[in-house]
Amino acid sequence: MPSRSSLIWSVFLVVMALPTVLALSGVLSAWFQPDFKTLSHLSNYVLPSAIKNTLLLVLGVSVMTAIIGVSLAWLTAVCDFPLRRFFVWALILPMAVPGYVIAFAFVGIFEFTGPVQTGLRELFGNSSWFPSIYSYGGVVMALSLVLYPYVYLLVRNAFQTQGRRSLEVGQSLGLSVRASFFRVSLPMARPWIVGGLLLVIMETLADFGTVATFNYDTLTAAIYKSWFSLYSVSAALQVASVLLIFVVIVIVIERYSRRAQQYAQQRNASLNTQRISLIGHHRWLACAACATVFTMAFLLPCAQLIFWAWPNVAVELNSSFWSYVWGSVSLAILAVLVIVGLALLMAFTARTQNSLFTRTAVRVSTLGYALPGTVLAIGLFAPMATVDEVLYNLGAPSHVLQGTMFVMILAYSVRFMAVAYAPLESNFLRITPSIDAVARSLGVSGIRMLRLVHMPIIRRGLLTAMVLVCVDVIKELPITLMTRPFGFNTLAVRVFELSSEGLWERAAIPAIAIVLVGIVPVMILIKRSDNDAH
């Protein structure tokens, strides 16, 4: 029944979906007004290598994260070996390290003048045989080590619900343990492996900071260079549209694979199945495998950061450092208020006005998590520039929108709406519909119901959403870099600027600050998976 209030909510939903649509149409507009000169330059010199590099990177990172993630998930979920309980959560920690941080830490550690090669030269007199860190292998290693936790978390969950039973079924049908793993357990976990890998692929496609640090030219780097080195917005849009094609493919596959996950979900989780106690040297091999990954992905880069930061702490913790901290914090607070506030209203609307229109609008509004920051930034820039031009022609001052906080927050809300929406939605789903009905029968409805009934009940979800958005905004690099107001600095931007100039000692302190902030949501995640199953 159409009423005035449901009309207001519909308008709200349209407004919510608008920025995503704007950004996408901004990118697609590149196809309707092709600039043939830049296009031929791009297709001759930039796109072939950028596409090749991007696809190779996706391939390499997928293979690496699948191997690392699945094997560690199996070991910690089903087997038992020394320090297993520690590794269960320690192996999630690398999630806290942004790609651009591990990147410059690795470069520092493994480049010619770094401690590893210096040590090798002292031992053998020569280290020229050591592979260069500025290589395909280097990028793949760095990205895989920060992204494998996506696979690890999802697949571990799957293995845990399967428990040992899947192996036992295989064995009872005459397969060896090894064959049972490959023919029963692994295929059963496939939806989750695919789900984890798709997240990894999205992050890889979106990554800008890591590849930039390694000077490895992918599509995101090409967007940035076209815009900020060639000053060609149309070229940047053309590249972005190519990247968008890959992203859309991944989104489509992801939608399908989610269905498979639902289908494969087991009703009776076998919580108390016994673990396989590894014996002999296998115990120590398992322990060593976990330890190696944890060291490479977390301990080593952190140690390197601290090693760099320590001598400079007194000098670096000056007023300009605190101004970057303030930049990050104030930005995060603003973004949290806007994004979580809007996500809350949207989740509430979705609950009270359930219809195809609502579901579609929500889906569009939360699509941005899959869009690379570089694509979003350039996609929003184009329509904003148009609006500015129209306003200017109407007599407004120039650049009302471009280069303002507004555009930056707009871009963030497209990118992180899903991050805020997911925990709110799942919390809302846990409130039975009769709670709403009771509130209404007692004369409380609309926003008052949200405030008096829903918000107190979902406060944990609200808190989770706030923490996640806050941390993501602080870690975020390309959007901040490409849309920030002139002279506005954050910790992430500072890390990127200093590290791209090779000033690693100075980049280390803001990088440590970001890692520390990033540990907070990882801890929440660890606590939650602890509650889920032990």
Partner 1 sequence: MPISLVNRHNSNISDNSSNYINAEDTLQQAFLSLTNVSIRFGGVDVLSSVSFDLARGDIGCLLGPSGCGKTTLLRAIAGFESVFSGSIRLNGNVLSDTNSVVAAEKRAIGMVFQDYALFPHLSVLKNVLFGLHGLSKNEAKSRASQLISQVGLVNKERSMPHELSGGEQQRVALARALAPAPTLLLLDEPFSNLDVELRESLSRDVREIIKQSNTTALMVTHDQLEAFAMADQLGVLHHQHLQQWASALDVYHQPGTQFVASFIGQGTFINGVMESVGQVNTMLGKFERNLKGVYTAVTSGDVVSVLLRPDDIICDSQSGIEAAVKSKYFRGATFLYTLELSNGEQLLALLPSQHDYAIDEKIKIRPKNSSVVVFKK
* Residue of 251, 252, 225, 253 lying closest to 240 (CA atoms): 225
Contacts of 406 (CB under 8 A, 6+ apart): none
Smallest gap from Cβ 3 to partner 1, in A, equals 8
Smallest gap from Cβ 359 to partner 1, in A, equals 16
**Cβ-based nearer residue to partner 1, 288 or 437:** 437
Q: Are 27 and 377 spatial neighbours (Cβ–Cβ below 8 Å)?
A: no
Smallest gap from Cβ 152 to partner 1, in A, equals 34
Smallest gap from Cβ 447 to partner 1, in A, equals 12
Smallest gap from Cβ 433 to partner 1, in A, equals 9
Residue in 434, 486, 487, 534 binding partner 1, rule: CB under 8 A:
434
Pick the piece of the chain touching partner 1 (CB under 8 A) from 289-297, 305-313, 360-368, 432-440.
432-440
CA distance 124 to 120: 6
442 binds partner 1 (CB under 8 A): yes
**Cβ-based nearer residue to partner 1, 38 or 464:** 464
Residue in 393, 443, 486, 487 binding partner 1, rule: CB under 8 A:
443
- Partners of residue 79 on adjacent β-strands: 276
Instruction: Map tokens 């000692």 to a residue.
Output: 505
* Angle, in degrees to the nearest 10, between helices 491-500 and 99-110: 30
* Residue of 269, 241, 257 lying closest to 375 (CA atoms): 241
Q: Are 480 and 502 spatial neighbours (Cβ–Cβ below 8 Å)?
A: no
Measuring CA to CA, how many Å separate 180 from each of 164, 167, 176, 185?
10, 5, 6, 7
Smallest gap from Cβ 469 to partner 1, in A, equals 23
CA 157 to chain CA centroid, Å, is: 19
Residue in 175, 406, 440, 523 binding partner 1, rule: CB under 8 A:
440
39 binds partner 1 (CB under 8 A): no
313 binds partner 1 (CB under 8 A): no
* Residue of 193, 160, 184 lying closest to 75 (CA atoms): 160
279 binds partner 1 (CB under 8 A): no
Instruction: Map tokens 């791009």 to a residue.
Output: 42
- Partners of residue 276 on adjacent β-strands: 79
Pick the piece of the chain touching partner 1 (CB under 8 A) from 31-39, 50-58, 350-358, 435-443.
435-443
Smallest gap from Cβ 362 to partner 1, in A, equals 21
The DSSP letter of residue 272 is: T
CA 318 to chain CA centroid, Å, is: 31
**Cβ-based nearer residue to partner 1, 356 or 394:** 356
**Cβ-based nearer residue to partner 1, 459 or 528:** 459
Smallest gap from Cβ 457 to partner 1, in A, equals 5
- Which residues make up the interface to partner 1 (CB under 8 A)? 1, 432, 434-435, 437-445, 452-453, 456-457
